Structure 1
Amino acid sequence: MKGLYCKLGEAGKVNFIIQETNVPTSIGDHQVKVQVKGCALSPVSIKLCSDLKLQREHIPVGREIAGIVLQVGPKVSFFQADDEVVGILPLDAEVSGLCDVVLMDEYSLVQKPEKVSWFEAAAAIKDGLRAYTALHTLARMAVGHTLLVLDGASPFGMLAIQLAHYHGVKVLATATSPEDQAFLEQLRPSVVRVIGVWDSKVDLVDSCLEETGGLGVDIVIDAGVRLNEEEPEVKKHLPHKHDIITLLGVGSHWVTTEDNLQLDPPDSHVLFLKAASVSFLNEEVWELSRSRQGRYLHIMKDVVEKLSTGTFRPLLENPVPLYEATVSMEMVQRRQVRKRVVVKL
């Protein structure tokens, strides 16, 4: 069967190829054989794979899958044949999620509600996990908090906004283009304020302080930050780290996706005065500790439950066929697609 893989070329260039793959015929005690119906595409973090010593000649692409259980191992207790499931392949998986059939550990899957489509389930499972990790695990959100979501019109930003609304949190969001701003402004339930950072006349810090009566926001989830003024042009729409620190309130939480964030002593001193915390958002850590496995499954179950009730409404492109997966993945890797892309198998 065929799968999609990432191959590193010269000078670190990333190439995506579809190639034949062999799935093991023997099934482990706690493994589940799944016929894949839909697989979502997310950017491949080459650096993360390298840091975790998972660098290979061909890195499997497509980890968020939804499908039907074909066979279960002798000690599997959660599933049986013909169950509809959704889950995330581990980082060290040998096969691509775009294979017709994959073998997965039962502890990486949850039941998919019947009313949720294959494509919605695959599209929302990882972004939903990230939203829960950011807002519940790291930021400890509570009713009455004020949340700032940077790039709110992204697939992850949308689910973070929807999860915060569900828990009674006041939401501010930034838009990086006029189209994104128009989209966010017509959301129901509505965002309290959409801040159009694409407009050079709009000041992010002033807007947040004005909306909070000068007190600052309780939670910030960034989509990357500028560490200095000499950043490349592609980062010009991102806020500077000093802006984030300035708009934080007392006892606030800054959840960052910037893996090389550097804070100078004056920055740390301001955070100390505000009793503010900085947390790094890496949803992959759930797989690194067995003691967290129950929490990990609980989050995934809650994500699909909120999909079935309509609380979560993922941003989803029309499903694409397998023969378009290579082109689609190249666009996803270059972040040229604003919605989540799901491959139909």
Structure 2
Amino acid sequence: MRAVTQDAFGDPTVLHVVDLPKPAPLPSEVLVRVHATGINPVDAMVRSGAFPMLGQPPFVLGWDISGVVEEVVPGVTRFEVGDEVFGMPFFPRAGNGYAEYVAVPSRQLARKSAAVDHDHAAALPLAGLTAWQALADAAEVAPGDRVLVHAGGGGVGHLAVQIAKARGAHVVATASAAKHDFVRGLGADEVVDYRAVDITEAIGGMDVVLDTVGGAVARRSIEVLRPGGLLLTIVDRMDTGLRAATIDAGRRFAGLTVEPDHVGLEALAALVQDGQLRPYVEHSLPLEEAAKAHELIESGRTQGKIVLTV
């Protein structure tokens, strides 16, 4: 099978296509013929060596996949050959998503909604589960809650805005001026240009803040929360100083790392099927252009998601 690998840490040019053996699924697993795989910022961090969570190269990057079940090991009851599925296998261990075939535990997959193609389904798992596990599981966002989503036009942010709206929240999002129309189109009730205004002056009384940026943005977010409000960060989850400052201010703190979760995937698929969630794919590139996809994700200007077609 074709797969994208790397032999050393470095810039996007270290990525190259090779022929590797097709994986053989183990008990509890299915073999998926991958049609599309999503690109996430963590992919670039692992590739460069900035976040070497897979150890030393060589390895195959990628966790977001959408495809068709090609083989089912006896004993697996959730899927049959020919089912269209999507998921985020093995994160944070190697998911091997930049490849034509992936062997995946069946409970790390869900059936793809017929309302989207494989490219858009592949844009959902990591970013969508991050937003779902933050807003639905950790924050338990309910109708009437005031929710602030930072970087509302980004990979996680554009899905988080829609998920919060689907749960009945009043949604405020930060975004650059160029992305305001896009973010309003996702359903945001208010959009704030973080480059033009101080968020602590423009926003207040929030029940939940989803921080996707970290650093000074996370610190300033404490001030926009109501007493008892929740600061959720997917960036500075290990920052003990941020946790202490949040709690000292009378607010709550939670740091989140996304996990494989078929229940969450099924919830996302249901929202897609109902028309309440639509992943936006800005760039769809062939597998052979993985290096270009990494250049785009590292530019920091991506709107929505980038996927590779396989």
Q: Distance in 2 between matches of 1:95 and 1:246?
A: 38
The letter of the residue matching 2:155 is P
- Structure 2 counterpart of 1:64: 64
The letter of the residue matching 2:128 is G
> Deviation of residue 171 (structure 1)?
0.8
* Contact 2:122–2:307 (Cα < 8 Å) also in 1: yes
* Contact 1:16–1:330 (Cα < 8 Å) also in 2: no
TM-score, scaled relative to structure 2: 0.88
The letter of the residue matching 1:218 is D
Structure 1: 5+ residue stretches without partners: 210-215, 228-238, 288-295
Considering only aligned residues, what root-mean-square deviation do their CA atoms show, in Å? 2.4
Q: Distance in 1 between matches of 2:263 and 2:195?
A: 38
Are residue 208 (structure 1) and residue 184 (structure 2) matched? no
- Structure 1 counterpart of 2:236: 258
Q: Distance in 1 between matches of 2:283 and 2:303?
A: 12
> Deviation of residue 157 (structure 1)?
0.8
> Deviation of residue 71 (structure 1)?
1.2
* Contact 1:123–1:342 (Cα < 8 Å) also in 2: yes
> Deviation of residue 57 (structure 1)?
1.4
User: Aligned ranges for residues 105-116 of structure 1 at < 5 Å?
Assistant: 105-116=105-116
* Contact 2:38–2:123 (Cα < 8 Å) also in 1: yes
Are residue 197 (structure 1) and residue 194 (structure 2) matched? yes
- Structure 1 counterpart of 2:212: 223
The higher radius of gyration belongs to 1
Decide which of 24, 35, 39 is 1:37's aligned counterpart.
Answer: 35
* Contact 2:156–2:212 (Cα < 8 Å) also in 1: no
Q: Distance in 2 between matches of 1:269 and 1:98?
A: 40
- Structure 1 counterpart of 2:21: 22
Q: Deviations over 1:53-103 (max 9, x none)?
A: x31312322221111111110111111111111111213666732322221
Call closer, same or farther: CA 1:116–1:240 in 2, change over 3 Å.
Answer: closer
The letter of the residue matching 2:177 is P
> Deviation of residue 246 (structure 1)?
1.6
The letter of the residue matching 2:247 is L
Structure 2: 5+ residue stretches without partners: none
The letter of the residue matching 1:204 is I
Q: Distance in 1 between matches of 2:106 and 2:39?
A: 22
Are residue 280 (structure 1) and residue 255 (structure 2) matched? yes
Call closer, same or farther: CA 1:27–1:145 in 2, change over 3 Å.
Answer: closer
Call closer, same or farther: CA 1:69–1:225 in 2, change over 3 Å.
Answer: closer
Are residue 303 (structure 1) and residue 272 (structure 2) matched? no
Corresponding residue SS for 2:30: strand
TM-score, scaled relative to structure 1: 0.80
- Structure 2 counterpart of 1:328: 293
Corresponding residue SS for 1:97: coil
User: Taking every aligned residue pair, what percent have the same amino acid on both sides?
Assistant: 24
- Structure 2 counterpart of 1:292: none
